[in-house]
Chain A
Amino acid sequence: MMYEQFKIRAEGVGSEVYRFQTKAEALDFIIPFLQKEGVTDAPHGYALWAEGPFLNGIDRTPLHNAVPGLKFEVSRQLAADCLVGISEVGYALTDTGSLVTDQTAVEQRLVSTLAVIHIALIGTDKILNGKMDVFKIINPGNSKYIAFITGPSRTADIERVLTIGVHGPKRLVIIFVDDMGGAN
């Protein structure tokens, strides 16, 4: 129910929303997605995957073999040249279709600001009702850079025409995984 509510709101602001039962199923979606979007091992073609619990227990070699441009080390230079950025996020809010996450680690910001396509991974159990709920959980004492992300980057500064992807990502792909535990 909460997932459906979130999906409606998030799609309403131009996000793409998917849900899978296991990490393996999610990977079965992500790898072909990266291939299809033309990820290559060359500047402007990289896919950068920032560290996070999803990667625990996952053998990265076959992933890299399937998509040679996919990298798990994030640097400023690579991020500037990447096509896709993948990161994990903390919470999803049903009221506005927003993602809320601690991005104190700069890598988390690099892959989610500089990429053309941002893929956000999140456990389905992390959906909350709204800002009030998330403000009870997040703590600026520990999280020095809290980011709310609601859809792709947008502007209406020229003749008030809504245009997607001005500085930040042009696409936001949100992938829910029901069971974030378990390996491949």
Chain B
Amino acid sequence: MKSDFKESISKAVNNTILTGALGKFSEAYKVNRAKAYEGIDFEALRQNIADRKAYAATHIDLLAAAFKIKAEAAGAKVYLADSPEKVKEYILKVARDNNVKTVVKSKSMASEEIHLNKFLEENGMSVRETDLGEWIIQLAGQRPSHMVMPAIHMTKEEVSELFSKAVGERLSTDIPRLVEVARKELRSKFLEADMGISGGNLAVAETGSIVLVTNEGNARMVTTLPKVHVALVGIEKFVEKFEDIVPVLEALPRSATAQLLTSYVSIITGATENTDGSMKDLHIVLMDNRRTEMSKDTKFVQAMQCIRCGSCLNVCPIYRLVGGHVFGSVYTGGIGTILTAWFEQLQNSEDIQGLCIQCGNCKDICPGMLDIPDMIMEIRRRLAVEKGQSFVQKAIFTVVNNRKLFHTMLRAASVAGTPFTSGAFIRHLPFFLSDLTEGRSLPAIAAEPFRDTFKKIKQPKLKEKVAFYAGCLIDFAYPEMGVSLVKILNKAGIEVIFPEDQTCCGAPARYNGAYEVAANNATDNINALLKEDVDYIVSACPTCTVALDHEFISTFTSLGQTEMLPKAKILAAKTIDFSTLVKKLVDEGRLTPTQGRKLGSITYHDSCHLKRTLKVSDEPRELLQKVGYELTEMFECDTCCGMGGSYSIKLPEISGPILQRKLTNIKSTGAAIVAMDCPGCVMQIRGGMDQDGAKIKVMHTVELLAEQLLSDK
């Protein structure tokens, strides 16, 4: 990571005005969005959108040809441009042909993408953005920091400063007054302008229509008042049928700004009359700029389903902390990382791809059904292939990849770590783990790893067997969690086996783009875990569960390795997370919690992978309540704790504030215990609580359940 990138992150995180504003916005957004979607089947709606957009993405040539015929029959001129240069050339020619001196623009991310304003200005034209947010950033000479709210990072004081300069008058910071100034100032520009440039939210092949979705009314003026109208539309905006507009109109305003519908939607089909009776000179420029190539890439074709609502930014725990400018490009946030990698170049996403903590929030709410975290992983993988890994990373993964060495090293660490241990926490760790102690305490490496402890557990010989996949954290840091799990399952009449040859689940390697290493890990684990025939392979670490259940398969698929796939699928089918298994055993009457215990208040933290990939959130809550805890939900219970594996090592400046927020939310419940199902989250949150000094117990569900279930008769 470059140092100026690190610097820009620190600057953003320490900008309390920015983080305060974005934080408040994201909280309000969540509530308002839910309200806007009341009574709507969001899953059905987004499937509908995704299907229609996916069709368009795989039939671009067909739709472009149909669109051109229809739009031209209605009096428009349609130009398909493959590169930004061609777009600019064409628009300049239109401008020259019409002797254009002044241009008004309504919002168009496509024009930002190719820096059109700068180009037209260099060619002697005056260009005015008229969307209020765009005008603000134009005056400030900045890039948009959010695709829907370009000036979300600005305060009214800054806006007042800019407007005062623009109109040559000292203005107050009263927002309605500032808006009025913009109205007056820009009204005359609309009336004078020779050319209007708009974007397009959709382009309908069947009818040759473009659709503009706006709130301010500026797009209506831009497309009505000047005699020349250029609509610049990325070819990801195609839909096939006129009726395809409907689902997009249902979702876009709700997702973008939590509105049922924006103030204005304009569906323009061909040229209409100008105010002087002449016909509008309407040019529709369809911009490719690597979109066709993207649509042919099996991993990234889904990015064509994006309707540019910006909601993925609004729910991203990283975006709300660092804002948009850290991303350094026109498109920001997770989706911006993907678009930058394509529309600029893969290289340009090298730093920013690391900002994604893979929490999956965006994936849950995306109306286009984009799997942003998965595409970012793929970017990581391709970067790793292209660049090779940095020396330190390589060193880590060579170790992780070598099971024996890795385990020996962790054992060595447990011994070497002893002198530095204070209480149950370690302040210093040898070698690459040393960075982990920054800002929070870490667990001591256990004196005896679970794999050794396991042998000493006296289990009854039982017919029914499950295999336990411990994962590195339980094996080497929290063996007591593994012990609890074994005892609970024994109580339910199940014997636990621990396949000795299991190793790291490969997540650290995978999340750093080292897919070959992850594939080796996968192969080792599959062979180890399928050796004995068991009903289930249970894990108490959601990251590991996801690896066994999904990622082994996708790692092999990404690498084009098919050999292990059938076995990976067998393993996936047998994999189950701890809480789901225990819930099942309780439902079957094989474990019976004692009724009527009053254990006091508890709050529950949803781990990202458990909630959003494995879709498990009710099971642990029910179990904890069944054994006698009273559940008090915390604010943002399913927001990431900031751990994200090695994320907290690489970006402590981001991970830290996310953890603080989590701690505050936990403390506000007044609960004496916070439960969670992930040893990684335990490590992060327990460490944070330790440094914070709050006397709140941070526990894995398995430990809390063991306390009660094992004392039951």
Contact = CB atoms under 8 A, between A and B. Distances in A.
B132 A166 contact: yes
Given A131-B250, A158-B159, A113 B217 contact: yes
A43 to B, nearest CB: 13
B217 A167 contact: yes
Nearest to B220: A113
Contact of A166 (B182, B245, B249, B266): B182
A157 B132 contact: yes
Contacts of B616: none
Interface string A136-152: 00101101111111111
A109 B215 contact: no
Interface stretch (B95-103, B254-262, B284-292, B439-447): B254-262
Given A132-B246, A140-B207, A155 B216 contact: yes
B250 A147 contact: no
A106 B272 contact: yes
A17 B267 CA distance: 25
Interface string B220-236: 11011100000000000
A160 B133 CA distance: 10
B215 to A, nearest CB: 5
A165 interface: yes
B381 to A, nearest CB: 37
A167 to B, nearest CB: 4
A58 B265 CA distance: 32
Nearest to A107: B275
B178 interface: yes
Contacts of B156: 158-159
Interface string B128-151: 001111001000000000000111
A22 to B, nearest CB: 30
Nearest to B223: A145
B176 A163 contact: yes
A106 B280 CA distance: 11
A4 B245 CA distance: 27
Nearest to B39: A95
Contacts of A160: 21, 25, 28, 149, 152
A97 B242 CA distance: 22
B215 A154 contact: yes
Interface string A156-172: 11111101011111000
B69 interface: no
Contacts of B224: 106, 109-110, 113
Contacts of A13: 259-260, 263
Nearest to A131: B246
Nearest to A79: B275
A168 B265 contact: no
A146 to B, nearest CB: 4
Interface residues of A, number: 47
A183 interface: no
A135 B207 CA distance: 13
A165 B218 CA distance: 11
Contact of A158 (B25, B151, B257): B151
B273 interface: yes
Interface string B13-51: 000000001000100100000000000000000000000
B175 interface: yes
B151 A157 contact: yes
B217 A150 contact: no
A144 B261 contact: no
A143 B269 contact: yes
Given A145-B268, A158-B132, A167 B273 contact: no
B266 A9 contact: no
B11 to A, nearest CB: 20
A76 interface: yes
B261 A96 contact: yes
B296 interface: no
Nearest to A151: B263
B165 to A, nearest CB: 16
B271 interface: yes
B183 interface: yes
Interface string A87-114: 0000000011110000011100110011
B260 A167 contact: no
A105 B263 contact: no
Contact of A135 (B74, B133, B178, B242): B242
A35 interface: no
A116 to B, nearest CB: 10
B215 A153 contact: yes
A23 B179 CA distance: 36
Contacts of A153: 215-217, 263-264
A167 B265 contact: no
A58 B270 CA distance: 34
Contacts of A184: none
Contact of A157 (B149, B221, B269): B149
B412 interface: no
A24 interface: no
B262 A150 contact: yes
A80 interface: yes
A56 interface: no
A123 to B, nearest CB: 21
B80 interface: no
Contacts of A114: 221
B562 interface: no
A41 to B, nearest CB: 21
Given A131-B250, A163-B175, A147 B265 contact: yes
Nearest to B21: A159
Most B CB atoms within 10 A — which of A9, A113, A132, A151?
A113
A75 interface: yes
B215 A106 contact: no
Contacts of A106: 224, 272-275
Contacts of B133: 155, 157
B191 interface: yes
A141 B28 CA distance: 41
A168 B272 contact: no
A125 B350 CA distance: 58
B275 A145 contact: no
A144 B272 CA distance: 7
Q: When A and B form their complex, which 3 residue pairs have the shortest distance between CB atoms, in order from nearest?
A: A168-B217, A157-B133, A148-B265
Interface of A: 9, 13, 75-76, 80, 95-98, 104-106, 109-110, 113-114, 131-132, 135, 138, 140-141, 143-161, 163, 165-169
20 contacts: A13-B259, A76-B225, A113-B217, A131-B249, A138-B267, A140-B207, A140-B267, A141-B207, A143-B267, A148-B264, A148-B266, A153-B264, A158-B156, A160-B149, A165-B180, A165-B183, A166-B183, A167-B186, A167-B216, A167-B218
Given A135-B242, A159-B21, A165-B180, 13 more contacts: A76-B276, A106-B272, A110-B275, A140-B209, A140-B267, A145-B266, A150-B260, A153-B263, A156-B149, A158-B179, A159-B155, A163-B176, A166-B183
